[in-house]
Amino acid sequence: MKKIVVLTGAGMSAESGIRTFRDSNGLWEEFDVMEVASIEGWYKNPGLMLRFYNERRKQILACEPNMGHLLLARLETNFEVHIITQNIDNLHERAGSTNVLHLHGELIKARSSVDPLLIYTIGNKEIQLGEKCEKGSQLRPFIVWFGEEVPAMEAAIQTVESADILCIIGTSLNVYPAAGLLHYAPYGSPVWLIDPNPPSGLSKSIHVIAKGAGEGVEEFIERVRTEKMRRNDGDGETDICMEFGKINP
Ligand code: NAD
């Protein structure tokens, strides 16, 4: 099977009712990013951080996957689909995607504040001040904050490097190192981008679908299905897309 790698950001979940960070009405308008999304914020006021993420966890669990998430999950019938997401929600998994790499962590998990490898699935439970890991340190959200390493980056790079098609959905490509993944797409592999307000300064070789995630993924799949897409790997061109029937969410 050919490999489609999908890089998603906050816009992927916007139609599920989860606010992005940078759009108007985005979360940053209400909260100071350094207070709630940086390691300094955690050292300064862990109680505020815990309340912020306890609230986010409740919100995401009340939301449902949208048509974009569902279509990407169905695409696994015809392709090896790898989702690399900057999102901390679990909507890709709940839509049925089986291969999801979270770059920035997951809200349904907690981790030790001294040992990053001690990770606990907590589902919808809150994390309280005073709750400790088995090594006796405060539990914290399993989130990669500004000022911290992105441990999944190496695996993400390897995945992108072997993509037959890369599709980027709903990210302003402002947050590094995630935004740099785009540059690891193999030479000759088509790159698509779905976003109603695409970031400026994109390479002309990127195919842009200026639509929201639901409609955009539908159009992307339709074009993959009907346009004879080819990958030029330097030694010549190969077909990427086999014939397959229409995919419904
Ligand atoms: P961002 O807020 O910087 O950018 C969001 C992008 O989504 C914008 O380019 C916007 O035009 C686009 N967008 C808006 N509505 C859309 C729609 N309906 N369909 C498709 N695209 C749409 O988000 P980012 O680049 O992901 O970076 C912000 C950071 O904050 C990331 O780490 C992200 O994971 C995190 N975050 C996560 C969630 C979540 O887990 N759902 C929500 C907010 C922020």
Quote the pLDDT of residue 157.
Answer: 98
Alpha carbon of 8 to ligand 1 centroid (Å): 8
Residue segments in the chain with a per-residue pLDDT below the cut of 50: none
Rounded CA-CA distance 150/147 in Å is 10
Among 19, 20, 66, 145, residue to substitute to test ligand 1 (most atoms within 8 Å of Cβ) = 20
Rounded CA-CA distance 82/78 in Å is 13
Rounded CA-CA distance 97/247 in Å is 15
170 lines ligand 1 (CB under 6 A): yes
Rounded CA-CA distance 214/145 in Å is 28
Quote the pLDDT of residue 96.
Answer: 98
Dihedral sign, CA of 77, 166, 195, 182? positive
Quote the pLDDT of residue 43.
Answer: 96
Residue 205 three-state SS: coil
* Tens of pLDDT, residues 131-173: 999 999 999 999 999 999 999 999 999 999 999 999 999 999 9
148 lines ligand 1 (CB under 6 A): no
Residue-range domains of the chain with CATH: 1-18+66-104+150-249 (3.40.50.1220), 25-62+108-143 (3.30.1600.10)
Alpha carbon of 17 to ligand 1 centroid (Å): 12
Task: Return the percent helix, strand and coil in the chain, to nearest 5.
Answer: 35, 20, 45
Rounded CA-CA distance 61/185 in Å is 33
Quote the pLDDT of residue 240.
Answer: 65
Which residue has its alpha carbon closest to ligand 1 atom 16? 11
